[in-house]
C-alpha cells in the first residue's frame, strides 16, 4: 500500500494551467492512489493542519447527548480513529469499479413520489409519526408562508419563540407551543423525537438545552443534513451569547424571551440559512481557499504572521467566504464550524466595511463558555479582502488595530499587495482547465487540512435553481456516503441530466459531476486524471504551509 | 482616564506638519437604543455620506482629525451597537471616554427613555466634570412623525446639564456641527483644566520657592 506516496523522485512540475508554479515543488505523490494516507492527500498541509479535524455530522453521530459539553480546544477529535482505519483504505483504485454502487433512481422523482422511506435507512426513520400536527392548518391565511421550502424555528424549552425564518414569532407562538408539546410528550417517555415524515415534508427536531430547534423542510436533504443545519443555527446563537450565558439566562428565568437579546441578529441567522443552501463549505465541513500562486500566498501569510501581538490567537484573511490565509497560535486549532460562523457573520453585515469593528464573539467549538474579541475590518473599503484578528484581550483594541496597520505596511513593502489584489480578480477557476471534456464540476476535500476546492459552477448550471439543484445532488451523495447506519465509499449515480461520482476515503472526499453521456469507465479514468490535476495544482488551490505565531 | 495627549506625533503628520500647536486626542462614544442612527451619524460625519446601514456588530471605531483654534484634534469615535446583547460589554467602549453622544430617535418616544437609562449608566461611571454628554435627537427629516418635542428634550437636557441638538444623518442636518461643537467644548474644557493645572503649578512653585527659602534658611542655620 501507499507505494507512491512521497516518491523520492524530484518531479518537474509542468506549467500548471492556472498560474506558473513559482515555488519548489515538494516531493509529493503525483497521483494519489487509494492507499493514500491521511496527511499525504492533495491539499494536505505540509506542516500540519490549521483546523480541528472535523467529521461529517460529528455532533450528531457522537454521543447522543442532549447537552453540549464545551469541548476542549485542543481536541483533535477522531484523528485516532481515522488512523486505525488506515488498512481499510488500502484498496486499489481498480477495485473502485467493482464497488460502485449504482443508484439509478431519479432523485427528483424519488422526492416527488415521497419514497424516502425506501431509501432512508437510518434507525431513527423507523420511529416516525404519520400525523402532522395541526400547526399547518392554523396558518391557512398565509398560503405563501406555507409554501416555503424550508422553515426554521427556534424556541426555548418553555415553548417561547426565539426565532422563525419566515413570519413573526408572535404569530407563531401557538405553533411553537405545539412543537414543544411534541418534544415534551416523547421526553416524558424517556424518548426523543427526531423527525416526522409526512406529506413530502420532513420535520426535524434538534434539542440542545435550553433551546429546541425545528426545521420543516420539503427539500431533498436527508434528515441528518437538516439536523446538521439546525446545529449550525444553534452554534450561531451560542456565538453571540456564549453557552454559559445562554444557560444562566434560562436557569434564572425559564420563560425568558430570548428575542430581546437576539434582536438585530435575525439577519445573521437568515444569512446563515441562505448560505447553507448555496455554499458547499457547510456540507463539506471545510473551508475553500482563494486560488492564488503559492509564492504570493506564502508571502501574505508571513506578513500576517509577522504582525503579531501577544493576545492574538487567530488571524484570518478572507475574501467573499474564501480563505486567503490563516495564522494561528501554536497548538491552537480553529474548528471549521467556527470559521464558517465567522464567514457568515462577515458576509451578513455590510457594516464592517466602514471603520474597524471590535466585537465580542464566542467560537463555540473552540470554547463555548467565553468571548474572544474580534477585530474585523476590510483592508480597503472597495476590496473584498477582510481581515479578522481574534484576540483574547478585550482591552487590546489599539494593539490589535496596530497589527492590521503593520500587516498592510508589510504587504506593500514586500510588494505583494498588488499581486494579492490581482488574485482576487480570479476567485474561481473553470472545470475546463482540468482538460477532461465530460467533466462539469467537482468538489474535492482534503480531510487532514480541512480544506476543499471546487471550480466555478458553469454551463449548464447557470440559473440559481440549477446551481442549487447541483448542490442538492452533492448533498444527496454526501448523505448517502455518510449515512450513519450504512456509509458508502463509492457511489456512481446516473441521472437524466448528469452522472455523478462520489468517492470517500479516510484521506479525502471527492464528488464529481459528469455530462450524462459518459460511462462509468470514462468516469473512472477521468477521476484518476482529475486527482493528478489536483495534485499538480495543490499549491495554488490549498494552503500547504500554514503559519503559526 | 485615557485622556491621551499626543504631542506633535501622529496627528500633526496627517495635517500641516509645521503647526507646532497642541494636539489632542478625545474619545467620543455614541450610545443609544438600536436603529436610532448612531452609525449613520458617525458615517455621515467621517465619510460624508449616508446609507441605510445594518445593525452594528459589537462596535465600530472611526477616527477623524480636525483643526480648531490652532489646535489639532483627533476624535476617536466609538460607535456602539444598540442591541441589548452588547450592553454587557458596552462599558468597555465608554470607559475613559471624554464625551458621550446619547442618541435617540425623535419619532420614537421610547428611544428617549432608553437614552435616559444610558445617562444613568454614565452617571454611575463618571464624575460630572469628567465627561461631556450631548443629547442628540436624530431623524429630524421625519419630523411629521415626531413623538418627542424639541421642548421636552431640551428641558430634560437642561436639567441634566447636557448639551442638546437635533440632527438628521440622512439630510446632513447639523451633523458636522454636532461634532465640531463637541470638539469645541472638549477643547475648552481641556484648556481650562490645563490652565487651572498651570495655576496650581504656579502656586505650587511659589510654595516651592518658599520652601527653598525655608530650606536655605535651614541651610544657613545649619
pLDDT tens digits, A247-259: 999 999 988 889 8
Nearest CA to B42 among B187, B211, B176?
Answer: B176
pLDDT band at A352 (very low <50, low <70, confident <90, very high): confident
- In order of their start, the domains of chain B are 6-221 (3.40.50.300)
Question: In this complex, do A357 and B57 lie within 8 Å of one another by their Cβ atoms?
Answer: yes
pLDDT band at A36 (very low <50, low <70, confident <90, very high): low
Q: Which residue has the cell 452554534?
A: A235
Three-state DSSP state, B63: strand
Please say if the pLDDT value at position A63 is more than 80: no
**Cα–Cα separations (whole angstroms), residue A211 to A153, A161, A276, A295, A319:** 10, 10, 21, 47, 33
User: In this predicted model, which residue has the larger pLDDT, A175 or A440?
Assistant: A440
Average pLDDT over residues B14-39: 77
- In order of their start, the domains of chain A are 141-276 (3.30.450.70), 287-426 (3.30.450.30), 431-541 (3.40.1840.10)
Question: In this complex, do A264 and B89 lie within 8 Å of one another by their Cβ atoms?
Answer: no
Residue among B34, B60, B82 whose CB faces A351 most closely: B60
Question: In this complex, do B54 and A265 lie within 8 Å of one another by their Cβ atoms?
Answer: no
Residue among B34, B60, B82 whose CB faces A355 most closely: B60
Question: In this complex, do B85 and A262 lie within 8 Å of one another by their Cβ atoms?
Answer: yes
Instruction: Tell me the average pLDDT of chain A.
Output: 79
- B28 is written with which cell numbers? 467620543
Please say if the pLDDT value at position A7 is more than 90: no
Instruction: Tell me the average pLDDT of chain B.
Output: 81
pLDDT at B138: 93
* Helix ranges restricted to H, A348-492: 397-413, 417-424, 464-481
Average pLDDT over residues B140-162: 91
Question: In this complex, do A354 and B62 lie within 8 Å of one another by their Cβ atoms?
Answer: yes
What residue in A sits closest to B44 (Cα-Cα)? A354
Concatenated DSSP letters for A309-363?
-TTEEEEEEEETTEEEEEEE-TT--B-HHHHHHHHHHHHT-GGGGSSEEEEEE--
The C-alpha atoms of residue B90 and residue B58 are separated, in whole angstroms, by 8
Residue among B39, B83, B84 whose CB faces A351 most closely: B39
The C-alpha atoms of residue A175 and residue A19 are separated, in whole angstroms, by 55
Average pLDDT over residues B185-193: 89
Most confident of A5-9, A440-444, B19-23: A440-444
Please say if the pLDDT value at position A200 is more than 90: no
Nearest CA to B138 among B35, B51, B29, B55?
Answer: B35
pLDDT at A26: 42
Average pLDDT over residues A17-30: 44
pLDDT at A142: 67
Percent of all residues in chain A with a pLDDT value above 90, rounded to a whole number: 42
Most confident of A262-266, B18-22, B75-79, B93-97: B75-79
Average pLDDT over residues A368-385: 90
* Helix ranges restricted to H, B15-108: 38-47, 87-94
CB within 8 A of B139, min separation 6: which ones? B36, B37, B105, B106, B107, B168, B169, B170
Question: What residues of chain B have any CB closer than 8 angstroms to a CB in chain A?
Answer: 34, 39, 42-43, 46-47, 53-62, 79, 81-86, 89, 92-93
Question: In this complex, do B84 and A359 lie within 8 Å of one another by their Cβ atoms?
Answer: no
What is the tens place of the pLDDT at every residue in A527-549? 999 999 999 999 999 988 888 88
Q: Which residues of A touch B59 (CB under 8 A)?
A: 357-359
Nearest CA to A50 among A366, A410, A283?
Answer: A366
Question: In this complex, do A351 and B62 lie within 8 Å of one another by their Cβ atoms?
Answer: no
> Residue B189: enclosing H or E segment and its boundaries?
helix B175-221
Please say if the pLDDT value at position A67 is more than 90: no
pTM of the model: 0.79
Q: Which residues of A touch B58 (CB under 8 A)?
A: 357-361, 374
Average pLDDT over residues A227-240: 94
Three-state DSSP state, A385: strand
The shortest C-alpha distance from A69 to chain B (Å) reads 23
Please say if the pLDDT value at position B135 is more than 90: yes
The shortest C-alpha distance from A149 to chain B (Å) reads 26
Average pLDDT over residues B39-47: 91
The shortest C-alpha distance from A326 to chain B (Å) reads 22
Backbone angles phi, psi at A120, to 5 degrees: -75, 105
The shortest C-alpha distance from B62 to chain A (Å) reads 5
The residue count of chain B comes to: 222
Q: Which residue has the cell 427528483?
A: A108
Contact status, residue A336 vs residue A285, Cβ threshold 8 Å: yes
Quick one: DSSP state of residue B49? -
What residue in B sits closest to A371 (Cα-Cα)? B89
A398 touches chain B (CB under 8 A): no
Question: In this complex, do A360 and B82 lie within 8 Å of one another by their Cβ atoms?
Answer: no
Question: In this complex, do B83 and A358 lie within 8 Å of one another by their Cβ atoms?
Answer: no
Contact status, residue A524 vs residue A96, Cβ threshold 8 Å: yes
Question: In this complex, do B55 and A358 lie within 8 Å of one another by their Cβ atoms?
Answer: no
The C-alpha atoms of residue B132 and residue A399 are separated, in whole angstroms, by 27
**Cα–Cα separations (whole angstroms), residue A408 to A357, A421, B28:** 17, 13, 26
Most confident of A346-355, A383-392, B196-205: A383-392
A241 touches chain B (CB under 8 A): yes
pLDDT band at A202 (very low <50, low <70, confident <90, very high): very high
What is the tens place of the pLDDT at every residue in A174-194? 888 888 888 888 888 888 888
The shortest C-alpha distance from B118 to chain A (Å) reads 17
Please say if the pLDDT value at position B156 is more than 60: yes
Percent of all residues in chain A with a pLDDT value above 70, rounded to a whole number: 77
Report the side by side order of strands in the sheet with B132-138. Answer: A547-548, A322-328, A312-319, A385-391, A372-378, A356-361, B59-68, B71-80, B23-31, B99-105, B132-138, B163-166
Sign of CA dihedral A324, A329, A330, A333: negative
Contact status, residue B8 vs residue B23, Cβ threshold 8 Å: yes
The C-alpha atoms of residue A162 and residue A176 are separated, in whole angstroms, by 9
pLDDT at A111: 38
Contact status, residue B21 vs residue B72, Cβ threshold 8 Å: yes
Concatenated DSSP letters for A214-250?
EEEE-SS--HHHHHHHHHHHHHHHHHHH-HHHHHHHH
pLDDT at A410: 93
Mutation target for A interface from B85, B86, B88, B96: give the one with most A CBs within 10 A.
B85
Amino acid at each position: 500500500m501507499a507505494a507512491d506516496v512521497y516518491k523520492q523522485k524530484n518531479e518537474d512540475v509542468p506549467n500548471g494551467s492556472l498560474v506558473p508554479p513559482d515555488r519548489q515543488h515538494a516531493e509529493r505523490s503525483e497521483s494519489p492512489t487509494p492507499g493514500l494516507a491521511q496527511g499525504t492527500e492533495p491539499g494536505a498541509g505540509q506542516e500540519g493542519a490549521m483546523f480541528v479535524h472535523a467529521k461529517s455530522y460529528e455532533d450528531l453521530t457522537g454521543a447522543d447527548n442532549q447537552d453540549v459539553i464545551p469541548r476542549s480546544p485542543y481536541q483533535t477529535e477522531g484523528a485516532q480513529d481515522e488512523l486505525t482505519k488506515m488498512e481499510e483504505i488500502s484498496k486499489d483504485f481498480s477495485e473502485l469499479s467493482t464497488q460502485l454502487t449504482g443508484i439509478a433512481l431519479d432523485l427528483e422523482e424519488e422526492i416527488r413520489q415521497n419514497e424516502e422511506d425506501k431509501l432512508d435507512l437510518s434507525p431513527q426513520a423507523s420511529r416516525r409519526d404519520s400525523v402532522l400536527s395541526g400547526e399547518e392548518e392554523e396558518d391557512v391565511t398565509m398560503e405563501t408562508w406555507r409554501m416555503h421550502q424550508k422553515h426554521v424555528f427556534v424556541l426555548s424549552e418553555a415553548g417561547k419563540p426565539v426565532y422563525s425564518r419566515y413570519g413573526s414569532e408572535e404569530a407563531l407562538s401557538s405553533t411553537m407551543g405545539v412543537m414543544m408539546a411534541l418534544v415534551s410528550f416523547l421526553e416524558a417517555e424517556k424518548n426523543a423525537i427526531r423527525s416526522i415524515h409526512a406529506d413530502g415534508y420532513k420535520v426535524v427536531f434538534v434539542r440542545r438545552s435550553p433551546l429546541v430547534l425545528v426545521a420543516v423542510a420539503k427539500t431533498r436533504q436527508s434528515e441528518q443534513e437538516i439536523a446538521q443545519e439546525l446545529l449550525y443555527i444553534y452554534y450561531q446563537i451560542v456565538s453571540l451569547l456564549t453557552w454559559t450565558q445562554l444557560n444562566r439566562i434560562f436557569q434564572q428565568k425559564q420563560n425568558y424571551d430570548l428575542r430581546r437579546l437576539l434582536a438585530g441578529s435575525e439577519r445573521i441567522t437568515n444569512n446563515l440559512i441562505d448560505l447553507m443552501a448555496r455554499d458547499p463549505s457547510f456540507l463539506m465541513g471545510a473551508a475553500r481557499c482563494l486560488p492564488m500562486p503559492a509564492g504570493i500566498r506564502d508571502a501574505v501569510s508571513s506578513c500576517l504572521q509577522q504582525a503579531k501581538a501577544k493576545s492574538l490567537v487567530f488571524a484570518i484573511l478572507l475574501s467573499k467566504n474564501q480563505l486567503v490565509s490563516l495564522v494561528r497560535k501554536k497548538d491552537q486549532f480553529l474548528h471549521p464550524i467556527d470559521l464558517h460562523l465567522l464567514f457568515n457573520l462577515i458576509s451578513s453585515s455590510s457594516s464592517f466595511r466602514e471603520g474597524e469593528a471590535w466585537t465580542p464573539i464566542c467560537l463555540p467549538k473552540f470554547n463555548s463558555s467565553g468571548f474572544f474579541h474580534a477585530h474585523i475590518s476590510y483592508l480597503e473599503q472597495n476590496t473584498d479582502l477582510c481581515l479578522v484578528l481574534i484576540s483574547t484581550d478585550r482591552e487590546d483594541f489599539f494593539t490589535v488595530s496596530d497589527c492590521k496597520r503593520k500587516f498592510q505596511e508589510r504587504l506593500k513593502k514586500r510588494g505583494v499587495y498588488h499581486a494579492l489584489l490581482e488574485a482576487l480578480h480570479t476567485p474561481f477557476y473553470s472545470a475546463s482547465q482540468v482538460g477532461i471534456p465530460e467533466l462539469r464540476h467537482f468538489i474535492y476535500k482534503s480531510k487532514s487540512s480541512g480544506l476543499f476546492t471546487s471550480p466555478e459552477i458553469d454551463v449548464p448550471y447557470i440559473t440559481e435553481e440549477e446551481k442549487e439543484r447541483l448542490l442538492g445532488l452533492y448533498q444527496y451523495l454526501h448523505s448517502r456516503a455518510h449515512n450513519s447506519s450504512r456509509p458508502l465509499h463509492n457511489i456512481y449515480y446516473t441521472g437524466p441530466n448528469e452522472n455523478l461520482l462520489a468517492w470517500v476515503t479516510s484521506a479525502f472526499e471527492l464528488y464529481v459531476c459528469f455530462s450524462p453521456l459518459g460511462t462509468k469507465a470514462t468516469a473512472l479514468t477521468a477521476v484518476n486524471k482529475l486527482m493528478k490535476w489536483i495534485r499538480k495544482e495543490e499549491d495554488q488551490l490549498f494552503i500547504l504551509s500554514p503559519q503559526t505565531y | 482616564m485615557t485622556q491621551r495627549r499626543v504631542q506633535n506625533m501622529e496627528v500633526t503628520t496627517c495635517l500641516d506638519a509645521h503647526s507646532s500647536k497642541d494636539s489632542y486626542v478625545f474619545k467620543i462614544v455614541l450610545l443609544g437604543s438600536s436603529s436610532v442612527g448612531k452609525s449613520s451619524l458617525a458615517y455621515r460625519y467621517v465619510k460624508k455620506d449616508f446609507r441605510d446601514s445594518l445593525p452594528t456588530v459589537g462596535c465600530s471605531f472611526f477616527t477623524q482629525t480636525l483643526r480648531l483654534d490652532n489646535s489639532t484634534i483627533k476624535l476617536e469615535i466609538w460607535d456602539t451597537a444598540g442591541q441589548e446583547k452588547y450592553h454587557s460589554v458596552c462599558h468597555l467602549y465608554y470607559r475613559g471616554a471624554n464625551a458621550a453622544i446619547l442618541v435617540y430617535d425623535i419619532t420614537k418616544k421610547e428611544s428617549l427613555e432608553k437614552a435616559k437609562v444610558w445617562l444613568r449608566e454614565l452617571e454611575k461611571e463618571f464624575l460630572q466634570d469628567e465627561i461631556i454628554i450631548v443629547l442628540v435627537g436624530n431623524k429630524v427629516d421625519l419630523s411629521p412623525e415626531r413623538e418627542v418635542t424639541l421642548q421636552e428634550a431640551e428641558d430634560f437636557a437642561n436639567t441634566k446639564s447636557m448639551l442638546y441638538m437635533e440632527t438628521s444623518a440622512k439630510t446632513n442636518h447639523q451633523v458636522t456641527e454636532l461634532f465640531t461643537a463637541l470638539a469645541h467644548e472638549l477643547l475648552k474644557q481641556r484648556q481650562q483644566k490645563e490652565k487651572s493645572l498651570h495655576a496650581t503649578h504656579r502656586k505650587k512653585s511659589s510654595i516651592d520657592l518658599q520652601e527653598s527659602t525655608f530650606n536655605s534658611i535651614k541651610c544657613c542655620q545649619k
